[in-house]
Amino acid sequence: MFAPEVERWLKSNSTPHYRQFVEGARSETATLLQDIGISANSELAHFYTRFGAWTCRGWYDLNEPDQIAEATQYAQDELGVPAGFVALTGFEGEGVVLYALKTGEVYDVELHRLEQLLDGSLAPIARTFEGYLRWCMSQQEKR
Q: Looking at residue 8, which CATH number applies to its domain?
A: 3.40.1580.10
Spell out the per-residue pLDDT of the chain, length 143, in tens: 899 999 999 999 999 999 999 999 999 999 999 999 999 999 999 999 999 999 986 667 899 999 999 999 999 999 999 999 999 998 877 889 999 999 999 999 999 999 999 999 999 999 999 999 999 988 877 65
Dihedral of CA 49/55/58/59: which sign? positive
pTM of the model: 0.92
Classify residue 101 by its DSSP letter: T
In this predicted structure, what is the pLDDT of residue 8?
Answer: 95
100 is in which domain, residue-wise?
A: 4-142
